[in-house]
Homo-oligomer: A and B are copies of this chain.
């Protein structure tokens, strides 16, 4: 994909991966929305991504080893996209980015709830969530008896929806 880099700066290299309007949106929807199929990502996107842009970003992120792609055993035509370990480790970055957005940009109330919960939860909550992603996406079993961070995020969002 990119054999020549603009510089070896960590922030620059991260921007070479995610420095566009759509890549992180795709990661976000897979990570927090558990959207694993092309159509889920296409139709479920609040931002209305175009099918060719989605196809391009999926292919690109697979090439950069941020996502992996596998046929769906239960449906010969479907393809399942999974987060790789590097992508899972974006959780703290996205948590901080979301928290910053809530503080400084005109976010909608119902979509802010999860970002706020993610921020309040702090590193312990992020670790719990990342273990859950490793289970869902990498097939690595997570510790028994630990409550689901994903369920808490979902519950907070549903509760906020019901309040309105």
Contacts and interface: CB of A to CB of B under 8 A. Distances in A.
Contact of A46 (B7, B14, B94): B7
Interface in A73-107: 86, 89-90, 92-94, 96-107
Contacts of A86: 100, 103-104
A92 to B, nearest CB: 5
A155 interface: no
A28 interface: yes
A10 B96 contact: no
A127 B47 CA distance: 34
Contacts of A14: 97-98, 100-101, 105
A6 B50 CA distance: 13
A98 to B, nearest CB: 4
A21 interface: yes
A43 interface: no
Contacts of A15: 21, 24-25
A146 B15 CA distance: 33
Interface string A53-89: 0000000000000000000000000000000001001
A111 B10 contact: yes
B98 A8 contact: no
Interface in A14-69: 14-17, 19-22, 24-25, 28, 46-48
Given A15-B21, A15-B25, A21-B19, A10 B112 contact: yes
13 contacts: A5-B106, A6-B46, A8-B111, A9-B46, A10-B101, A11-B28, A11-B98, A14-B98, A14-B101, A86-B103, A93-B96, A93-B97, A96-B96
